[in-house]
Chains A and B, each alone.
Chain A
């Protein structure tokens, strides 16, 4: 009963958040100075009227808002582009979202695997060489923006080997491009750095904390062998909180990919977003914001509910 109430509460909050996002987006886009239909050429009065009717711009603002609300949330239709005639925002999402999602998932897989390994090693060999390296890496990975790493990798792994060292472009990484398996490598590494950093740091401190706990001491006193102690008692308990941050990390990774996609020429949602901003294509900006934001909100909701199911203490707060 308590759980159900918790879930309903979260669900309600998510819906309100979605509505807030939609409303903010709608009015911010309407507040943009200038004319959404403005192009390089002057359009005749007749055409303009037709266009306004077609995009519903002739109606009063509150009607536009309600219409749009109905269209987006009831019919799941994000409208069409103002710039490219006939280009549906839904099509953009359908074609480009899987690309972003693919990179996000690959990066999280790489990041979580390496992060867990590094965190465990750093905790077991505290103040050793690997630990020191890992801690420096963590500070850099957390404090530096991912686009810096993107440029470093693009130059160091692709541009430099290809132009200066004269590697064969057919069997080496491409600085930019999409469509082959090798094109996953650089963006995934870039995005996984931040994940590795945060997971390593968290796991290390968890491992150390668990190491001081009573049950580990007890196990030690009972003569449990070291490998068994580390694997069964320490790691198992330290890793639990990591599971709770994986979803937020996935969300964070997907937003981080906004610029990464631009750098590596990946036709994902981030690049569509960037293009629509550069073209002032307000309908597309709006549609993508609501979709992407909605996606993040739903992910958060799932995380919250999962927490609630796993850990009863959360439900109270």
Chain B
């Protein structure tokens, strides 16, 4: 008892007489004390609730499949001759095609054979000019050789006594246009694509702006020019012909599909499930490769804004006082700024590109996180374990990341997932403004922008990608709602 420092008032077992006569009562292991069900933690509970939500599971599987196609898809793209990415490969033989599983196409030389204009001889050039009723157009218009995207060569019987021929072309797009209308009515003949001033010439080749997906009506009308007055008289009736172009593929492109193919053979072209755009690029492959950039942005931007907002909100909440007030006033001002306009402005200032998109999208989207997380921090900082940690002298940042952040995860996940569809929408929006990524690169927004340029003619080019975009947005939105319900059951069913 030499080292005894206890106060004399303290009692020990030895001091109590007859202490050893007491025996501990054995604990009753009654059934009521047992936990009959497995312990379900916060996370497991949330996941279980999510898995029970059937719509959410469908949405999640849709998102996962789109993401997987985006990741794996590009590895299955066909190889190209010159090493450019398949989604950026232009092919002028296949512009503006509708969705197709591949068509039989004719293999032609790489450089198209130029067709010369032919002059009929002998021909009476100095014959008196036809006048009034007797002025007529050639009786028939024919296609010489093969009409392809490289050129349509027309042929007719020249007429003695005219000054020349006017040649027109119109597109048969959607509206049924009768040949007889074109013959009689000059207003539906379309664009005048050429004037032949030698009456003896009986061929003409049109090689500009042809589109293999279109049907054309060519028409020809003879005209005379009065030598005295220089007045021009055009025959009232024209000759017309409807021309569908033969799908061709250049030899080099064909050899990429089938190595030992020769010109003149037919082979099956690539399938374009979504069709091709105005430059002959495959739209599906552009969508697939665009998925990578869109999902990259959709994951990166919310994460970056979350980190900024978390630090900002945590500092504001934990420091309190004047700092808190000033920081929150700044957030308030930034929140009042028209976000869309500044998004556009930053993108104009920084120029196109993925990097500037990230900066522009992050610049103002962190304020929401900052505001909500500050509120959460204010709530959490009054909780005992944070007090204890402070008392023990833990640095501010360690409190933030050890104690506060893990308790914020539910709120964070809900906000984070809700931001994803907004980022995808903003990307599409900026691209429609022409402010997305650099030119050949494909995103969902640029695909839509390219299609929007001639949307009225080829609506499928717009609506198929737009359908993917809409389905993905709906899926993200439903999943976000489901996550909110799962993490915070109190909010369930509220809007």
Contact = CB atoms under 8 A, between A and B. Distances in A.
Interface stretch (B6-14, B94-102, B204-212, B465-473): B465-473
Given A145-B425, A278-B434, A285-B348, 12 more contacts: A24-B342, A28-B345, A29-B349, A31-B349, A139-B477, A139-B478, A145-B429, A155-B455, A164-B175, A201-B495, A277-B344, A289-B345
Contacts of A24: 337, 342, 345
B332 A255 contact: no
A3 interface: no
B451 to A, nearest CB: 9
Contacts of A263: 452
Contact of B338 (A32, A201, A205, A255): A255
A202 interface: yes
Interface string A111-155: 000000000000000000000000000011011110110011011
Given A151-B452, A163-B174, A164-B174, A143 B345 contact: no
Given A201-B495, A300-B336, A277 B435 contact: yes
Contacts of A33: 351
B338 A296 contact: yes
Contacts of A143: 421, 473-474, 476-477
A235 B317 CA distance: 39
B442 to A, nearest CB: 19
B494 A205 contact: yes
Nearest to A21: B337
Interface string A259-280: 1001100000000011001101
A163 B348 contact: no
A277 B434 contact: yes
Contacts of A28: 345-346, 348-349
Interface in B451-467: 452, 455-456, 459, 462-463, 466
B333 A277 contact: no
Contact of A166 (B173, B175, B345, B425): B175
Interface stretch (A11-19, A56-64, A94-102): A11-19
Nearest to A282: B348
A83 to B, nearest CB: 15
A221 B455 CA distance: 60
A109 interface: no
B348 A17 contact: no
Contacts of B469: 148
Interface residues of A, number: 51
Nearest to B474: A143
B341 interface: yes
A205 B495 contact: yes
Interface string A193-217: 0000000011011000000000000
B433 A259 contact: yes
Q: Chain B: interface secondary structure?
A: helix
Nearest to B340: A255
B315 interface: no
Contacts of A297: 336-338
A175 B456 contact: yes
A14 B336 contact: yes
Interface of A: 13-14, 16-17, 20-21, 24-25, 28-29, 31-33, 139-140, 142-145, 147-148, 151-152, 154-155, 159, 163-164, 166, 175, 201-202, 204-205, 255, 258-259, 262-263, 273-274, 277-278, 280, 285, 289, 292-293, 296-297, 300
A162 B215 CA distance: 19
A251 B336 CA distance: 11
A148 B329 CA distance: 36
Given A148-B470, A293-B341, A163 B336 contact: no
Contacts of A25: 345
Contact of B459 (A140, A155, A289, A292): A155
B147 interface: no
A306 to B, nearest CB: 16
Contacts of B175: 163-164, 166
Contacts of A148: 466, 469-470
B473 A32 contact: no
A281 B346 CA distance: 15
B345 A285 contact: yes
A38 to B, nearest CB: 15
Q: Select the residue from A32, A143, A175 with max chain B CB neighbours within 10 A.
A: A143
Contacts of B348: 28-29, 32, 277, 280, 285
Interface in B436-456: 452, 455-456
B404 interface: no
Q: Which 8 A-B pairs have the closest CB atoms?
A: A143-B477, A28-B349, A163-B174, A293-B338, A17-B336, A205-B495, A201-B495, A145-B425
Given A29-B349, A300-B336, A147 B432 contact: yes
A280 B349 CA distance: 10
A142 B474 CA distance: 9
B135 interface: no
A289 B432 CA distance: 18
A259 B455 CA distance: 15
Contacts of A258: 340, 433
A293 B340 CA distance: 10
Contacts of A292: 338, 341
